[in-house]
Amino acid sequence: MNQSVDTKCLHAGWNPTQGEPRQLPIYQSTTFKYDTSEQMGKLFDLEANGYFYSRLQNPTNDYVADKICALEGGTAAMLTSSGQAANFYAIFNICETGDHFIASSAIYGGTYNLFGVTMKKMGIECTFVDNEISEEELDKLFRPNTKCLFGETITNPTVSVYDIEKFAKIAHKHGVPLIIDNTFATPINCRPIEWGCDIVTHSTTKYMDGHASAVGGAIIDSGNFDWLAHADKYPGLCTPDESYHGITFAEKFGKAAYITKATTTLMRDLGSIQAPQNAYYLHIGLESLHVRMARHCSNALAVAKFLEANEKVAWVHYPDLENDKYHALQQKYLPKGSCGVVSFAVKGGRDAAIKFMDSLKFASIVTHVADAKTCLLHPASHTHRQMSDEQLLAAGVEPDLIRFSVGLEDPEDIIADLKQALELI
């Protein structure tokens, strides 16, 4: 049955039969029992399907991954312990020392460090590019050892919209997959696979969990990228794997090759499994994702319109606003609304921003974004605190940028809070 994405939030994944628990059970077990040593041996050889140790796979996690897979329209999916682990595994599954990839420079700061600093130490080089780059300029940056292109549907914290179709076309022309972090949009508002993206990642910590209760991540593979057609580029998927008696993932597992390799090699060797308890919290969040996203978006639009009209506000970025630079892309890729995050600045620089933030009554200052309660962060005084204004601009963060994550409260209360704080500066 072809269900809508809203219905899939409730019914995809765990599908109990007669007498089974209505709600997804938590398989709080590190290990799984087998009757014969031969049966267990077949699992280790990937000759049979089954659970044996929760560092690699756990049924609770897999049911949740199945739901997310259905929401994104993918072929196979897995959970990870965090969004950072998801983005690392998504790249490291197809990149080795000496390889190169290209990423949008407008991405989450943690991902920027992972790609630009930590992965560099592993001998994997990332070239960062502006989202406005032309096809001709981007073509020139591809090298024989370039293995993928990476971007975010909606960037954190500048809320610009990625032109997925454009970048998918360029990636495929060069024989590499496009990987997209779809955290801010969620599959309710945008399904990148429908626009040509090959692999989707998530920090499930944000809207998917939705209640600031569990850190987690997910990777979803469309199954559309033909690894064997580019076998020379992807030896990890297309040549025999010594650690599994010489099986070749792309031949043995077909469309599930990428996720199977990530679970059976990266999870096995590096860990980063999501705790089944956290997967359970995530699952509860997913059941209301469609209802919450609609409210996050309508609240954020009301807030953005209020800010846009307020004389103490210097500027507002929110793609759903008609005169926003990214409005056309929002209309194309996110017609139901983008997300609940609005970035803006008050007039008067850092001091005015601090005064304003400290005067808010219930919008709280937290290092978080995209959950049920309205919160905010000022990168210049928090995450990027040690930097001068010049350094901030060089890092792409406007010194006066306030990242405002609109929650699920009554929009009139959120606006009243903003209004009283703006009046004090």
Ligand X SMILES: *Cc1c(COP(=O)(O)O)cnc(C)c1O
Which residues contact ligand X (rule: CB under 6 A)? 82-84, 108, 110-111, 152, 156, 181, 183-184, 203, 205-206, 215, 217
Q: CA–CA separation, 182 vs 190, rounded Å?
A: 8
- CB-wise, 237 or 341, nearer to ligand X? 341
Nearest residue to ligand X by CB is: 83
Residue 262 in contact with residue 237, Cβ under 8 Å?
A: no
Q: CA–CA separation, 370 vs 374, rounded Å?
A: 8
Min separation Cβ 184 and ligand X, Å: 6
Q: CA–CA separation, 259 vs 266, rounded Å?
A: 10
Up-side HSE of residue 131: CA atoms within 13 Å toward CB? 19
Min separation Cβ 316 and ligand X, Å: 20
Q: Measured on CA atoms in the order 412, 415, 421, 425, is the torsion positive or negative?
A: negative
Closest alpha carbon to 360 in 321, 409, 296: 409
Which amino acid, residue 347?
Answer: K
Min separation Cβ 217 and ligand X, Å: 5
- CB-wise, 218 or 238, nearer to ligand X? 218
- CB-wise, 208 or 422, nearer to ligand X? 208
List of residues 6+ apart from 61 with CB closer than 8 A = 78, 79, 273, 274, 276, 279
DSSP state letter for 321: S
Min separation Cβ 133 and ligand X, Å: 20
Min separation Cβ 179 and ligand X, Å: 12
Residue 333 in contact with residue 195, Cβ under 8 Å?
A: yes
- CB-wise, 112 or 306, nearer to ligand X? 112
Structure tokens at 179: 């990987």
Min separation Cβ 292 and ligand X, Å: 16
- CB-wise, 231 or 366, nearer to ligand X? 366
- CB-wise, 134 or 364, nearer to ligand X? 364
